[in-house]
């Protein structure tokens, strides 16, 4: 019997991929720190402002203006705006890091709708696992972990992320760091206007005034660590290795997210939460890995 074929990553490349998913996972704890003083929509505005400047002056515009504008609004106001609002008292960082990964299912569903491809049996099974996991989270909703509003906002944020993925795909092969950076130009105006409308100028000024070193470090981590390092390193890895080798490592994002939240913020990990995480991650794993496992089995 032959072994399951895998593309071996050099140790340095494996550690780089691990560093990226660690940054993306622990980023949810960093968000929680920034929200201690900044209103959520203002926080998101500052995040994209620092992601835009000064890098926009050094990176060539990678796609058409309309495509960049659509991606910027979807990821800015849609994904991060709603996520930050939800994390301001409506959902714990650990659960947020887990539920955001449902964007995979939204992305696949929209891609298949566009292409007309039928959903495979293994994809239905993967979705069923994830839905049961989300159902467990909904059944245990409370003010300490996740409210019904928080659950809804994060799922809409994940859907917005998926819409952003489809938009980015239409741009074709581009420099993702430049793409995300230039798209930030269109994330800032709607986030600022939403902050001004719903949070108000006095709260915005007070938030900036009360922001301490940890708050500004959180904003900087969002733009430099999460965006510039994360996207650039991930794109670099994908350019050198098969996607099937790199993308499954994204399954570790919620592991780092829930682990960091438990260690730093003392978020509890009761049995129901671990079961829900196992089901959602199991669904993601089936969806990502089953075609590869099936191909190996048929090739024996």
Is residue 50 assigned to a domain?
yes
Does residue 286 lie within any of the structural domains?
A: yes
Domain annotation covers residue 5: no
Phi, psi of 142 (to 5 degrees): -155, 170
Q: Which helix (H) or strand (E) holds 75?
A: none
Nearest Cα neighbor of 243 from 173, 294, 167 is 173
Q: How confident is the model at residue 198 (pLDDT cuts 50, 70, 90)?
A: very high
Residue 208 within any structural domain of the chain: yes
**Residue 4 binned pLDDT confidence (cut-offs 50, 70, 90):** very low
- pLDDT range class, residue 192, cuts 50, 70, 90: very high
Specify the range with the lowest mean pLDDT, choosing from 5-9, 14-18, 159-163, 173-177: 5-9
| Least confident among 151-160, 173-182, 196-205 | 173-182
Q: What are the tokens at 276? A: 């829900």
Question: Which pLDDT band, with edges at 50, 70 and 90, does 244 fall under?
Answer: low
Kindly report the pTM of this predicted structure. 0.89
Number of independent structural domains in the chain: 1
Structural domain of 85: 16-299
Q: Is 167 left (phi over 0), alpha (psi -120 to 50) or beta?
A: alpha
The helix/strand/coil state of 99 is helix
Say what the pLDDT of residue 240 is: 83
User: How far is it, in rounded angstroms, from Cα 256 to Cα 253?
Assistant: 5
Domain-embedded: residue 10: no
Q: Is the pLDDT of residue 208 over 50?
A: yes
Chain centre distance of CA 232? 15
User: Comparing C-alpha atoms, which of 173, 67, 166, 169 is closest to residue 107?
Assistant: 166
> Does residue 191 belong to any structural domain of this protein?
yes
Asked if the structure places residue 9 within a domain, the reply is: no
Tracing tokens 């239409």 back to the chain, one arrives at 170
Residue 194 lies in a domain: yes
Q: Which residue has the tokens 């733009």?
A: 223
């Amino acid at each position: 019997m032959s072994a399951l074929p895998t593309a071996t990553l050099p140790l340095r490349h494996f550690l780089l991929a691990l560093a990226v998913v660690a940054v993306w996972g622990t980023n949810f704890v960093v968000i929680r720190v920034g929200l201690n003083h900044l209103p959520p929509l203002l926080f998101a505005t500052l995040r994209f402002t620092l992601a835009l400047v000064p890098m926009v002056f050094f990176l060539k515009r990678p796609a058409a203006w309309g495509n960049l504008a659509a991606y910027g609004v979807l990821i800015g106001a849609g994904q991060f705006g709603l996520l930050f609002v939800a994390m301001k008292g409506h959902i714990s960082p650990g659960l947020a890091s887990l539920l955001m990964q449902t964007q995979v299912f939204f992305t696949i569903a929209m891609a298949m709708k566009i292409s007309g491809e039928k959903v495979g049996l293994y994809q239905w099974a993967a979705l069923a696992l994830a839905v049961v996991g989300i159902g467990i989270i909904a059944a245990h909703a409370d003010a300490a972990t996740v409210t019904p509003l928080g659950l809804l906002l994060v799922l809409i944020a994940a859907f917005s992320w998926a819409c952003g993925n489809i938009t980015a795909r239409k741009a074709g092969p581009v420099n993702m760091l430049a793409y995300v950076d230039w798209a930030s130009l269109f994330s800032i105006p709607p986030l600022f206007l939403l902050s001004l409308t719903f949070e108000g100028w006095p709260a915005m000024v007070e938030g900036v005034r009360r922001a301490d070193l940890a708050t500004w470090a959180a904003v900087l981590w969002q733009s430099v660590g999460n965006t510039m390092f994360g996207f650039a390193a991930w794109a670099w890895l994908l350019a050198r290795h098969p996607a099937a080798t790199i993308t499954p490592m994204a399954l570790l994002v919620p592991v780092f997210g829930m682990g960091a939240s438990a260690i730093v913020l003392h978020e509890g990990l009761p049995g129901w939460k671990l079961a829900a995480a196992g089901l959602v991650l199991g669904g993601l794993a089936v969806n990502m890995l089953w075609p590869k496992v099936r191909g190996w089995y048929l090739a024996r």
